[in-house]
Amino acid sequence: MAWPQITNDSGHFWTREQLEEHGAYPVDLNRWRKGSEEWLPLFQARMVHHFDQRFNSVEVNLENIHNPYINVPVTDEQHRNARFYPRHQYFVRQEFVGDKFPDRPPYAIGYRDITRTTDERTMISTVVPWAGYGNNLPILVCNEEETVATFNEVAPLWAANFCSFAFDFVARRKVQGTHMNLYILEQLPVITRAAYDRRFGDTTAADLVRDHVLRLCYTAWDLQPFAQAQGYDGEPFGWDVAERRHLRARLDALYFLLYGLDRDDAAYVMDSFPITRRNDEPAHNGVYLTKELILRYMSALEVGDTDTVVALPGA
């Protein structure tokens, strides 16, 4: 796979003000256009999070000389609007991106290059639409040795794998500095394609992952090409915070099992994420909800139950 980076081409970056002065105008999917000219948004690492390509907007305040670029979190209400897109700092010409990545599908997997082992999570990744990407958001795409069909098959599997607590547990121990460099990522244990043939009830791990990743990622129209690549041609899925919590917990439970861990192992791993715990307990009457849901979904999956929504602790 290829990890293209285009920050060295910053001379090709356009701000909104420059586009307006050029006579361009905003159109759908967060793009700008002037006649036959078109500009795509430039994604930065700060703008994405697990299963979310709309995590932050970037607001510019040049009067703040120490931090002129401010992260503005996208609210749940904004997330529920499938045509809401974050504010981007820069845009790039469509043909420039096309020349950089001529034989790629109309989406990619991106991950944050900047990370610290003291953060809540070390590996932060998601599916991102066809666009420009800064060098702090490396992407995975097809190269000439692989077909688009193959990438369409494995992309949701990789996206879910990278977002799992099991994967993060190992990643945190490999990162020594503040960058998730390619050579580090290449050393991390990714679940093999054959392992996804394992059955849980009437479904395979692969089918379960694809379904959940589609529901988690396809919440806005800019990822319609990804949805279509997965055989889904409907509207984006709604942004439901409670449902997303359960989908993610079931995926994490699945990956603990695919990595060969039992409930005791998973509990140990989850206890090593203190910030997640500290965020959970005050909001859920002292319950480490993320951990408890994962353990309950592990029990369900072990008996082949992939449909039941487990009860919340205390319910």
If the chain, 315 residues long, is cut into consecutive pieces of 10 residues, what is the mean pLDDT of each piece? 52 89 94 94 95 94 75 97 95 82 83 84 95 90 76 96 97 86 89 98 98 99 97 98 98 99 98 96 95 98 97 79
Residue 292: inside a domain: yes
If one counts the domains in the chain, the total is: 1
Q: Residues near 234 by Cβ (< 8 Å), separated by ≥ 6?
A: 227
Reduced to 3 states (helix: H, G, I; strand: E, B; else coil), residue 98 is: helix
Question: Does residue 43 sit within a domain?
Answer: yes
| Contact criterion met (CB below 8 Å) for 214 and 237 | yes
How large is the greatest C-alpha to C-alpha distance in the chain, in angstroms?
Answer: 62
pLDDT of residue 68: 76
pLDDT at residue 118, rounded to an integer: 77
Question: How far is it, in rounded angstroms, from Cα 108 to Cα 101?
Answer: 11
What would the DSSP string read from start to end of 32-73?
EEETTEEEEEEE-GGG-BTTBS-SEEEEE-TT-SS--EEEEE
The answer to whether residue 315 sits within a structural domain is no
pTM for the structure as a whole: 0.92
- Would you say residue 247 lies in a domain? yes
Q: Which two tokens stand for residue 101?
A: 């990545």
Half-sphere exposure of 156 (CA within 13 A, CB side): 26
Q: Is 109 exposed, middle or buried (0-12, 13-18, 19+ CB in 10 A)?
A: buried
243-269 in b/e burial notation, b at 16+ Cβ within 10 A?
Answer: ebebbbbbbbbbbbbbbebebeebbeb
Q: What pLDDT is recorded for position 43?
A: 94
How many Å separate Cα 54 from the centre of its chain? 9
Range of the domain at 116: 7-302
Task: Specify if 312 maps to a domain.
Answer: no
Chain-centre distance of CA 245, in angstroms?
Answer: 15
- Is 115 in contact with 44 (CB distance < 8 Å)? no
Distance in angstroms (rounded) separating the CA atoms of residues 111 and 109: 7
Enumerate residues 6+ apart whose C-beta is below 8 A from 315. none
DSSP secondary structure letter of residue 199: E
pLDDT value of position 71: 92
Q: Which pLDDT does position 4 carry in this prediction?
A: 44
Q: How many residues does the chain have?
A: 315
Q: Flag whether 172 is in a domain.
A: yes
pLDDT at 98: 74
Residue 36 within any structural domain of the chain: yes
Provide the 3-class DSSP secondary structure of residue 141.
Answer: strand
Residue 183, domain member (yes or no): yes
pLDDT at site 147: 85
